[in-house]
Chain A
Amino acid sequence: MLSDEHQSMMLAYLSGLRRGARLRSLDDLAALSARDLLLLARKVDDAALGIFIQLLKSTGEGRTVFSRLMGDHEEDNRPLVDDFFSRYYKCVLAVSDDAPPYNPLEIYLPAHALVDLAFVQSRQAFFLRQPCDVINAYLDGLFPLSEGPHAFPPGGQDKAWAYFWDKVMSR
């Protein structure tokens, strides 16, 4: 939840964007029609969209506000709805569809975290979801073999996990 100070600042920012009746409280924001809310959202800078959603959450009228963001399901509002969700999608998701490839195991299961066995165990499902080429590359970085790279075949995630867990336990 946003602090009172941040709520006031955001309401002032939104009032400035509207150039109409000032938004004095969260109730004023929650009372906007779907079209007015979506038109307002269109003017909010990308960097402020996350705070805008937090502000809407602070109204305590989540169900109503979400319906507004969906344009009250009116066909006339659909372009505004699609535009809003498209922008927010690009702003909020950490990994965009055109992000360069990376090895998620190296990022989220780093070598220094392997001393925490409870943490490692909790990431088993995440490990098992990875393709074997990703797992093999990860294992090559952690436990290099003199005879060549790891080569668990497609579908060999369970065996790879058993091997990985055994290695972690024996460190």
Chain B
Amino acid sequence: MKHLSAHAAGHQFRVTPEGAPREGAAVDTETMPQARTMRDCKVVLFNDEEHTYDYVVEMLTHTCRLARTEAFRCAVEVDLTGRTIVFYGSRAACTNVVAKIHAYGPDHRLPQSMSSMKAEVEAC
């Protein structure tokens, strides 16, 4: 059995409540195809040495509206693996989130930090 909470935004998309149709399943409704097209992209955040865990948590709670505990798991993932998925949505929504991440500014805790973290929109 898989975790339902899994971690952060990246895993929320995979959560399927008991009894609900799974992603990709044939369903006779209009809302499911619409939901799919609204979540056809993801935002990937990349690691660097210019930002602290505190910054990542604070920034993700503001830009992606993640809970602090979810944002923290994203921070650990980006630290260990170099990248983490922080948001799923339409291309427009993802582009908006990336713009917010890039506009968030440097990490004020580190005097040498002079830029925002890097993030990109990727197709699912």
A residues near B, CB below 8 A? 53, 56-57, 62-63, 65-66, 69-71, 73-75, 78, 81, 85-86, 88-89, 92-95, 97, 104, 108-109, 113, 119, 122-126, 129
Contacts and interface: CB of A to CB of B under 8 A. Distances in A.
B1 interface: yes
B117 to A, nearest CB: 12
Given A57-B79, A62-B80, A122 B105 contact: yes
| Chain A at the B interface: SS class | helix
A53 B81 contact: no
> Interface centre among B2, B57, B105, by most A CB within 10 Å?
B105
Contact of B53 (A93, A113, A123): A93
Interface of B: 1-3, 5-7, 11, 52-54, 57, 62, 68-69, 72-73, 76-77, 79-82, 103-106, 108-109, 111, 114
Nearest to A113: B111
Given A85-B72, A108-B109, A109-B108, A53 B3 contact: no
B7 to A, nearest CB: 6
Contacts of A113: 111
B2 A75 contact: yes
Contact of B54 (A53, A71, A74, A95): A95
A53 B105 contact: no
A2 to B, nearest CB: 14
Given A62-B80, A66-B80, A89-B72, A108 B108 contact: yes
Contact of A94 (B7, B54, B69): B54
A93 B56 CA distance: 10
